[in-house]
Structure 1
Amino acid sequence: MLRALTLAFALLASTVQAGERYVSMGSSYAAGLGIAPYQDGAPTRCTRSTRNYAQQLAAKRGLTLVDVGCSGAKTSAILQPWGELPAQIDAVTADTALVTVTIGGNDIGLVGGLYGASCRKLGEANCAPATTPGEADYAALKTAMTGMVAAIRERAPKAKIVLVEYPTILPLQGACAATPLSDADADAARTKAARLSAITREAAASGGAMVITTDDFSRGHDACAAQPWMNGYPAPGAAPYHPNLAAMTAIAQALDAALP
């Protein structure tokens, strides 16, 4: 642990310079599902927004961005090919200066579980089944994320690695009209989100990476808030239970403030 912390402080002390290579990886929460327009030339199913947090940070810092985040991705898609898509980590090269990752929600059915729960609450048809990860699932996620950080470090020893948490989706208690959920389903989603944040922080600490604690600073901007950073259900023209443009901008600002 001491070695990991020492490495993290040493890497964060150096400045990320304009023009350096920046790789953004992850799921739809990194790609920017529902935030049009999408990037030309990107795989259609990845829905990579031109205004996701990586795009905004790269523009502000003058970084050379390689954006490989993809909607629906699990941690396995970081290290292994996913269908026709190469492993996201293939974008990380020895000269990469910065890597950001938002991943893990799909491994435990966080957003898919919310979709299904709201679908059932509203009496809609063909709803996704409930997802209840067990301790083995959380342990597997921790192993996968820890291995991911180690693999990134091996490919790019000098890179700053930053794990970006998922923004807060629901208020601390209950739900609202924008989030049609039973109390049990809302509590289950909060448990998943809390476990994901804890695992993200543990994985970062294990490999000398940094964490953007989005789960903390986005509280009060959940889907039920007066100024939400999260879409509710349904979300016409957007993506239910996904971050909106305000969330992406806030994350980009937090990254810019945290990086030297």
Structure 2
Amino acid sequence: MRRLATCVLAAAAVVTGVVVAPTASAGTTQPLDYVALGDSYSAASGVLPPDPTAAPQCLRSTSNYPHVIAAATGAQLTDVTCGGADTGDYAGAQYQGVPPQLDALHPGTQLVTMTIGGNDSNVFISSILECGTLGASTLGQGSPCKDRYGSSFEDTINTTTYPALVQALQAVRDRAPDAQVAILGYPWILPATGGCFDKMPVAEGDVPYLRGVQATLNDAVRRAAAATGATYVDMNQVSEGHDACQAIGVRWIEPVLQGTNPVIVHPNALGESQMAAQTMAVLGLS
């Protein structure tokens, strides 16, 4: 996510089946034409090894979930995921020399995956950063973030992010009308209660508050998928117990402190592999 990556660097659906390409010759099939769109959760920003074909600003990894899916299915992958992307970067260039993500799509595209929406209006990442700052100021006590911001984050998601998601998904459909389009929810960053102030500087009372903000974002993604005929890949249940407060080897998301990735509050390699597994399970890919 754009602001978080900047701060880090500055500081230290079940579908009916697999879409099979037309046979190229007797007994053979062409690989699935697969385009990966989306933000840093799709790009696996901070996970090694980096993708040498990506613009440096995108912080894309070859261990991201699109590469895992492509390796497992033999798909022909076009990966334009980019850290910091929001829905506006589908139709417009995110950085100089980085084309609009929609340019990667064409009428023959068969599969599209993405995580997107978390950077829109900077609301989701801003909530994490602001709550972290306020939590540090109270040494983890109380609910200073909820007390200051109330429903403002969720209001922005519902009034601004949701319609932007619908527009973006419809634009994908327009460019690739025959593709199976899947949009993933974001894996849980925090547990439902309690938290881990040593790793995530969020006040104990703000842990359920931030969890609610993320739940609202994931629900906006789900509703946008339903409104546009896309498949929603629900990460809520499968990522429970794998939040940033958990131990190495259990957590799918890296914490602010004591983490292993330079890009904090983002999926690690295990998280990306599990996002791939859930996507393949929902889409019936093998």
Name the TM-score, length of structure 1 as normaliser: 0.86
Q: State the secondary structure of the residue aligned to 1:217.
A: coil
Q: State the secondary structure of the residue aligned to 1:81.
A: coil
Which whole-Å deviations, capped at 9, do the CAs of 1:191-244 have from their partners, x for residues lacking one? Answer: 221111111111111111111101221011111234111111123543211111
Paired position in structure 2 for 1:191:
212
Q: Which amino acid aligns with 2:189?
A: I
Q: Distance in 2 between matches of 1:140 and 1:45?
A: 26
Question: 1:136, CA displacement in angstroms?
Answer: 4.5
Q: Distance in 2 between matches of 1:223 and 1:57?
A: 24
The answer on 1:232 being equivalent to 2:245 is: no
Structure 2 residue runs of 5 or longer lacking an equivalent are: 1-12, 22-29, 138-144
Structure 1 residue runs of 5 or longer lacking an equivalent are: 1-7, 124-128
Q: Distance in 2 between matches of 1:137 and 1:201?
A: 13
Q: Distance in 2 between matches of 1:221 and 1:137?
A: 24
The answer on 1:142 being equivalent to 2:193 is: no
Contact between 1:39 and 1:50, CA under 8 Å: does it hold in 2? yes
Question: 1:20, CA displacement in angstroms?
Answer: 2.2
Paired position in structure 2 for 1:38:
50
Contact between 1:16 and 1:259, CA under 8 Å: does it hold in 2? no
Question: 1:25, CA displacement in angstroms?
Answer: 0.9
Contact between 1:179 and 1:232, CA under 8 Å: does it hold in 2? yes
Q: Distance in 2 between matches of 1:253 and 1:211?
A: 14
Which whole-Å deviations, capped at 9, do the CAs of 1:27-53 have from their partners, x for residues lacking one? Answer: 100000110111112111101101000
Aligned residues: 247
Paired position in structure 1 for 2:179:
159
Paired position in structure 2 for 1:173:
193
CA 1:154/1:12 → structure 2, altered by over 3 Å: closer, same or farther?
A: farther
Compare 228-237 and 98-107 and name the one that shifted more: 228-237
Q: State the secondary structure of the residue aligned to 1:114.
A: helix
Map 1:1-260 onto structure 2 (within 5 A).
12-17=16-21, 19-84=31-96, 85-107=98-120, 108-119=122-133, 121-122=135-136, 132-133=152-153, 135-176=155-196, 177-226=198-247, 227-234=250-257, 235-260=259-284
Q: Which amino acid aligns with 2:270?
A: A
Q: Which amino acid aligns with 1:59?
A: A
Q: Distance in 2 between matches of 1:137 and 1:252?
A: 25
What is the root-mean-square deviation of aligned Cα atoms in Å? Answer: 2.3
Q: Distance in 2 between matches of 1:257 and 1:121?
A: 38
CA 1:14/1:240 → structure 2, altered by over 3 Å: closer, same or farther?
A: closer
